[in-house]
Structure 1
């Protein structure tokens, strides 16, 4: 008999330093105006990004000083680990579990490097068992919320009765650099924030959750390695982001999603709600157009983008959290895109 996997809980966490978009613009103006003349022309991106606030790992003054790999790694170790633990503790508490109940931990993070990985560093604080399986994922970027959820689902499904913890944590702000400036740096400054999200999945008989994970799928386009990723700079990781992403989404995403659904015996019309990683405002609009959702349909996506910015992998789980609190429809499809260039989907059925 095939195991049924339930989503038991979901929790989010953000760092304490809240920054309004107007303040981000003022700081960016000070930084960019003399060193990057094109900033005057690109300044309106801050108004059109759809971001009102975002939370970041350090006070804004920290980012105005030069920092190398060691400084950035130290902040990642401290702040990412704290966010990991806070999000995980929230998810465990909602599920009525402790760390000792968890059989496997999936950690998703692409904005910092930590070896041992975050779940190993959190083992004592969260009380994970010594025999818990660990699966850290690096390099999946903005797709990580869906990709990580899909992996957690497969791990739970493969071991009936298992309880799997997924934690996505990203510190996108650490990719801001004073040393080298580009158009991508300006766009990144306008949209990215920091945050974490965690959820618990279980294939235990009789498990009660807010949704059943029905299926997952993934598609990687050939010849698209340059669409999104990291540039390794002397001072740390820097964002690689193709500005032609919205047209790509508008052109490519529908047939891929249709093919993913077809393998599950579904059509677009069978999906009551798409839960999408927003990327940015133009990507939201491209998704609405490509999937025939109607302008404004991705309301939770706009709200999360406005309140937190694009946090990379946790963002789609923030959106899922809002969607479940207002009531999930019968069938929803969670989807996110990231480096590869890859689209990942997870099909959910409401409890």
Structure 2
């Protein structure tokens, strides 16, 4: 798809308080070089506990992209120190980020010189200066490019960024902005025999996804109409990434009740999103849901009354990549675009869930 980046002249009759609507003009994704099946990972990590093996093999995941630590002299994979993990995050995040951003701009028919704002999202490492500054330097993007970084919000953060940058686009009609979600989950792994670690290690994979947005110019792509959010404060500790004093590093924690907590609140947020639009859930043609895990997806399907076909992209991304955190729903959006089935006037819902516990949704229209 090709976009026009000429600033539009406002129509003479336009009301000053009416702001243009941002639309998604292009999408691109990237992963790291090496992938493994779940069974291969069990063998490489030497997992023999039947409970842990069951978690891996019943995850609805076939393959994930990961960058594992090198084997030691005895052929074992051992935990990397936190400093090495931060170095790994920087290396993988910049590499995947550049690849996804380049693919996104190509899909939008745009160039690096067209970029007015770059927002980078990550929760798998901490960088100062932010990832946005590193990518601007690496690619030689105009140093006056506006930028922002959203760090530590987790799997829902891609939609939080979309909300913020849609506002930037509306305030700068005709200028190109990009949301870039980069999650080097290999840099956030612990390697031990605990069930807490097993749940995390069975699920996440490396991935990056980017969307280009522009407001005030005509063209293909979903227009972003509305957002809805919900922080489930009673479950604020149910998903977290905190310091493990025993291991001297950060570690994920996922409460087993998370699928049911998310499912129980999904209907509330969907109804809030559609309130005042005249739309019912049955009017939504496409549901692009975060690939948070088999049980999470099942809970959303049941509570929203969706079909397996409705979440075909979500389950396909989970199968092929695992949970790639903040960019997961954009992997699904790319697959929908590749299908070529959307028609003008169709509505879709983007949905992500993460720590907080948080549910984020966006209503879009083609």
Instruction: Identify whether the pair has TM-score above 0.5, normalized to the shorter chain.
Output: yes
How far 1:236 moved relative to its partner?
A: 2.8
Deviations 1:247-271 (A, max 9, x none): 2123221122212221544332221
Q: What is the match of residue 290 of structure 1?
A: 303
Alignment of 1:159-198 (within 5 A): 159-178=172-191, 181-198=193-210
Q: What is the match of residue 213 of structure 1?
A: 224
- Whole-Å separation in 2 of the counterparts to 1:265 and 1:111: 39
Deviations 1:67-107 (A, max 9, x none): 11210111111111011111001111222222221111111
Q: What is the match of residue 5 of structure 2?
A: none
How far 1:26 moved relative to its partner?
A: 1.8
Deviations 1:214-235 (A, max 9, x none): 2222111222211112022354
How far 1:124 moved relative to its partner?
A: 2.9
Q: What is the match of residue 226 of structure 1?
A: 237
- Whole-Å separation in 1 of the counterparts to 2:138 and 2:95: 10
Secondary structure at the aligned position of 1:161 is classed as: coil
- Whole-Å separation in 2 of the counterparts to 1:217 and 1:12: 25
- Whole-Å separation in 1 of the counterparts to 2:40 and 2:61: 12
Q: What is the match of residue 350 of structure 2?
A: 334
Work out whether 1:73 is the aligned partner of 2:86: yes
Question: Which ranges of 4 or more aligned residues in structure 1 deviate by more than 4 Å?
Answer: none
Listed as ranges, the gaps of 5+ residues in structure 2 are 1-17
- Whole-Å separation in 1 of the counterparts to 2:130 and 2:259: 33
How far 1:25 moved relative to its partner?
A: 2.0
Q: What is the match of residue 212 of structure 2?
A: 200
Q: CA RMSD in A?
A: 1.9
Q: What is the match of residue 18 of structure 1?
A: 35
| Structure-1-length-normalised TM-score | 0.91
| Structure-2-length-normalised TM-score | 0.88
Which structure has the bigger radius of gyration? 2
- Whole-Å separation in 2 of the counterparts to 1:196 and 1:188: 19
Work out whether 1:117 is the aligned partner of 2:130: yes
- For the 8 Å contact 2:200–2:253, the answer to whether it is kept is no
Work out whether 1:6 is the aligned partner of 2:23: yes
Secondary structure at the aligned position of 1:198 is classed as: strand
Equivalent position to 2:361, from 339, 342, 345: 345
Secondary structure at the aligned position of 2:157 is classed as: helix
Secondary structure at the aligned position of 1:169 is classed as: strand
- For the 8 Å contact 1:146–1:344, the answer to whether it is kept is yes
